[in-house]
């Protein structure tokens, strides 16, 4: 039986309300998740940390935010996004507040594990929002929700000002208050629809079987760079600007936001493009743009001398702060589109299991965001070359391009255009 116009209008209003308030909640959660990317700068000096320890400090919240994504996605399928999101946000408030009282390195590591739960909000909101919209608009809806990644940029605007004015301890106190206020708004303006729930006879173990699906693993690889790389660089860039170009923390955070902001806000456009042109086409171009940007960003500051007829001449090759920021801006745009296109793949291929699959893929992306900053620090300690971080990411993109070529591009050329409309099980 068709819905009445009044019921349809009410449904649309509820869908829009859910999208808006969920995006707000995710933005705040992501802002909290990225907190160490800024307060880690003064903590590095206070605790006398090397680059590897700094990487571990900033990445610790990312670990728990990644590991909880699969169960949170499954619980969202079973119990609904409204209640799971509310409980998750409430659970982080005490830990955020306690962060301001930490004094030792291990204090920050332990408390950071609990603060990191906020990062799991992505696997709650993605299926929760998607199910309120028809299939042809799910890519855009998930893109809008995913724009909450811009919380990384909000953190870069807010946290440096608080650090300079009041010291780093003020940041977690303010963030705890903001999280609590956002929780109240979310509960008031969100809705629950029992029709969105997965039947209760679906077991946790059954949903985890998706880990054996090679297509899911491929999407995990894509997401490990477009999201994992985004998280890692969002945590790493402020100190990179400070160390590489000698900038003040406020200026460094502002320039780092040139990467974080488009990397979050423009995700909605990536969702729209994926709806219109398909997830494969968007992801393919995202990987190639990433390959070019990371190739240029990988080149270290270099001075070399050559012998000429007029004697030795020294030349310098390297990116100045302006060229570096432009490349980071372009990379942020590409990854914003890529984050949306990967989840369009999921909505198209696994419409009845979005929560579990998005949790698994989100886990892979989050683990990338955890492992990469530690590897950035280790590479810096070993080589002394700051751009080694981009060399590592360049290699990850190569893997994604090769995998995509053999499972999608080459397959489409051999089997015809219609092959691109069905998931490749490889």
> For 258-268, how does the pLDDT look when each residue is reduced to its tens digit (9 = 90+)?
888 887 778 77
Q: What is the dihedral of CA 338, 182, 154, 273, to 10 degrees?
A: 20
- Tell me the two tokens of residue 267: 């995700």
Neighbours of 212 (CB within 10 A): 8
Could you report the per-residue pLDDT of 49-107, keeping only the tens digit for each? 888 888 889 888 988 888 888 788 778 888 888 999 999 999 999 999 999 999 899 99
Q: Assign 295 a pLDDT band (cuts: 50, 70, 90).
A: very high
pTM of model > 0.85: no
Question: Residue with structure tokens 């209008």?
Answer: 9
Could you report the per-residue pLDDT of 324-356, keeping only the tens digit for each? 999 999 999 999 899 888 888 887 887 777 666
Cβ proximity of 312 and 374 under 8 Å: no
d(CA 80, CA 197): 6
- Tell me the two tokens of residue 162: 């608080």
Q: Which segment of 191-195, 246-250, 333-337 scores lowest on mean pLDDT?
A: 191-195
d(CA 220, CA 259): 22
Domains of the chain, with CATH numbers? 12-189+210-420 (1.20.1250.20)
- Tell me the two tokens of residue 184: 């109240």
Could you report the per-residue pLDDT of 26-35, keeping only the tens digit for each? 999 989 988 9
- Tell me the two tokens of residue 2: 């068709």
Cβ proximity of 297 and 387 under 8 Å: yes
Q: Is residue 15 scored above 50 in pLDDT?
A: yes
Q: Assign 1 a pLDDT band (cuts: 50, 70, 90).
A: very low
**First and final C-alpha spacing in the chain:** 41
């Amino acid at each position: 039986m068709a819905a009445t116009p009044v019921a349809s209008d009410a449904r649309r209003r509820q869908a829009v309300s859910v999208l808006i308030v969920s995006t707000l909640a995710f933005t705040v959660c992501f802002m909290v998740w990225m907190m160490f990317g800024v307060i880690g700068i003064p903590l590095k000096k206070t605790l006398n940390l090397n680059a590897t320890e700094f990487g571990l400090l900033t990445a610790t919240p990312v670990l728990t935010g990644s590991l909880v994504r699969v169960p949170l996605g499954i619980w969202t399928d079973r119990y609904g996004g409204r209640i799971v999101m509310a409980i998750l946000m409430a659970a982080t408030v005490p830990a955020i507040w306690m962060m301001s009282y930490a004094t030792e390195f291990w204090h920050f590591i332990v408390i950071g594990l609990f603060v990191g739960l906020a990062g799991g909000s992505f696997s709650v909101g993605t299926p929760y929002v998607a199910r309120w919209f028809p299939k042809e608009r799910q890519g855009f809806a998930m893109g809008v929700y995913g724009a909450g990644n811009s919380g990384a940029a909000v953190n870069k605007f807010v946290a440096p000002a608080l650090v300079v004015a009041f010291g780093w301890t003020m940041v977690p106190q303010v963030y705890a208050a903001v999280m609590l206020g956002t929780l109240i708004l979310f509960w008031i303006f969100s809705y629950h629809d029992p029709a969105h729930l997965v039947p209760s006879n679906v077991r946790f173990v059954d949903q985890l079987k998706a880990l054996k699906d090679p297509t899911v693993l491929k999407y995990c690889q894509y997401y490990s760079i477009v999201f994992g790389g985004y998280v890692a660089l969002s945590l790493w860039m402020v100190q990179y600007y400070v160390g590489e170009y000698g900038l003040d923390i406020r200026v460094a955070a502002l320039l780092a936001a040139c990467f974080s902001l488009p990397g979050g806000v423009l995700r909605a456009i990536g969702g729209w493009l994926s709806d219109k042109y398909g997830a494969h086409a968007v992801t393919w171009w995202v990987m190639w743009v990433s390959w070019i940007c990371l190739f240029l960003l990988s080149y270290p500051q270099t001075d070399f001398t050559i012998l000429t007829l007029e004697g030795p001449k020294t030349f310098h090759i390297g990116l100045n702060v302006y060229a570096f920021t432009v490349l980071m801006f372009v990379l942020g745009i590409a990854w914003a589109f890529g984050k949306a296109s990967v989840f369009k793949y999921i909505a198209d291929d696994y419409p009845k299991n979005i929560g579990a699959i998005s949790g698994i893929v989100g886990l892979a992306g989050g683990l990338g965001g955890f492992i990469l900053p530690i590897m950035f620090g280790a590479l810096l300690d070993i080589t002394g070359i700051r751009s080694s971080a981009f060399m590592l990411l360049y290699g990850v993109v190569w893997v994604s391009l090769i995998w995509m070529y053999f499972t999608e591009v080459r397959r489409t050329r051999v089997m015809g255009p219609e092959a691109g409309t069905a998931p490749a099980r490889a």
